[in-house]
Amino acid sequence: MKRFGHVFYGLLGLPLAMASLPMYVQLPAYYTQQLGLPMAAVGYVLFFTRLFDTFQDPFLGVLINRYKASHPLSYIVGGVLMALAFAALWLPPLWIQRDLHLSLVWIGFMLFFAYSAHSLLNIAYLSWGAELGKETGPETNSATLLGAATWREAFGLLGVILASIAPAFLLIGTPDEQRDKLAVYCGLFGIAIALSIFVLLKFASRPHEYQTNQSSLRSQISQISTDKKVRPLFLAYLINSLAVALPASLMLFFVDQQIGANEKLPQFLVSYFVSGAIGLPVWLLCAKRFGSRIVWQVSLLISIFAFIGAAFLTRGDVNGYTIICITSGLCLGADLVLPPVLLSEQLGTSTQHASYFGVWTFLGKIALATSSLSLPLLDFLQKNADFIGATKGLVDNIALVMCYALIPCALKILTFICLIDSHKRNTK
């Protein structure tokens, strides 16, 4: 094991996170506000491309299983496609921008390529990290998995922070100035992903060599769906992902309507993600000493007690909300690092890591899609005040607090229970 093998492995997490935030959050606003495309039309394009992206993951997992997670082809093809699609999304040709239908077709195809490339890279990358534990004995297996996952998520958080602050500098000035700055940004992204893939393939810790799994998609999916030991962990991950996605979807509304501090949004975001980065080494040390499952359960309890405080905030409680962002941000590190490590530990010497992680990423995207239903739910509750016999203003507050804070806390409790069930099934 090379001395800096885990650091070299984790580097790819930065460009993957840098690409993920624009594709899911920033680009829709860019197309509607900067390029002037109709919101409804862009929404339909996003819906269908994301739907395809969600359901392709299990297929990509099976494909990667047949060629090994460390096969260079997955990273070279995925990296080139990702860099080109990322640039094409930010910099559509001017002659395409002049035509609404061409613009929508362009966005649809480029999102298709970007999502596919990102999923291919992400599943292979997660599987690589999971297979690192195979080359060590049982005493060092967890430490190896935790070390790789921690560096991956640390670089990932850095990528999210960079991607979140970049638009503030890129999307100012004249349209020509914006395009020049976006061209530089896309060029730097291409260099970052090329460099990180080169370092990964050349210097990172190598996963254990094993015989590839050549069984069919139906056979592998059937085996995963009947795996009773992994099923509770899959359920825990799905529920917890939804608990994280719900507040993320409603944060802008909560800050605006409940706290009344839109101008403080960058402060809240930075405090959340920086706290997540600070908490990573703490969760790593605790997991090495007490075990990944127990530490994740402790982090769930801490996040519940911290986040339930959001239900009691009123207009102007900027300091109180900042404290909640910091506290819940500290728990973010555990949510990022420990679940995939738990899955890797349960899989052991299985030859189907990529197939399992294909389903894993599929569940995360299902949670993200489901969280979008919070918007129509919130709209329904706010428009039907008479249904529960309260004034509209009171219902507005109750509905937002319920969707933003109370439901996620309840989901965290369910995650805790699922982890207990998972532990029982794996100790029989």
Q: Which two tokens stand for residue 370?
A: 């489901």
- DSSP string covering 33-68, please? IIS---HHHHHHHHHHHHHHHHHHHHHHHHHHHHH-
Helical packing angle, 39-67 and 72-90, nearest 10°: 170
Question: What whole-number distance in Å separates Cα of residue 257 and Cα of residue 251?
Answer: 10
Q: Is pLDDT larger for residue 142 or for residue 193?
A: 193
Amino acid making up residue 96: I
String of DSSP letters for 94-115:
HHHHT-HHHHHHHHHHHHHHHH
pLDDT in the model for residue 348: 66
Query: Does residue 391 sit in helix, strand or coil?
Result: coil
DSSP 3-state of 367: helix
Hey, what amino acid is at 376? P
SS3 of 227, please? Answer: coil
- Distance from the first to the final alpha carbon of the chain: 33
Local confidence band at 25 (pLDDT 50, 70, 90 cut-offs):
low
| Contact call for residues 155 and 13 (beta carbons, < 8 A) | yes
Predicted confidence (pLDDT) at residue 224 exceeds the cutoff of 80? no
CB 344, CB 130: distance < 8 Å: yes
What residue type is assigned to position 202 of the chain? K
Handedness of CA 336, 19, 244, 158 (dihedral sign): positive
Given this model, what pLDDT does residue 215 score?
59
CA distances from 353 to 69, 128, 285, 346, 417 (A): 8, 9, 25, 10, 25
Listed residue (359, 337, 3) closest to 157, CA to CA: 337
Of 364, 343, 363, the residue nearest 352 (C-alpha): 343
pTM: 0.83
Domains assigned to the chain: 1-205 (1.20.1250.20), 217-428 (1.20.1250.20)
User: Can you tell me the distance from the alpha carbon of 331 to that of 308, in angstroms, rounded to the nearest whole number?
Assistant: 14
Per-residue model confidence (pLDDT) at position 32: 80
Residue with token string 């899609």:
369
Q: Which of 15-24, 74-83, 240-249, 374-383 has the highest mean pLDDT?
A: 74-83
- pLDDT tens figures, 365-381: 888 878 777 767 776 76
Instruction: Indicate the pLDDT class of residue 389, thresholds 50, 70 and 90.
Output: very low
Residues 382, 385, 390, 391: is their CA dihedral positive or negative?
positive
Q: 54 near 358, Cβ under 8 Å?
A: no
| Residue 70 main-chain phi, psi, to 5 deg | -95, 10
Among the ranges given (78-87, 210-219, 281-290), the one the predictor scored with the smallest mean pLDDT:
210-219
Tokens at 402, concatenated: 């319920």
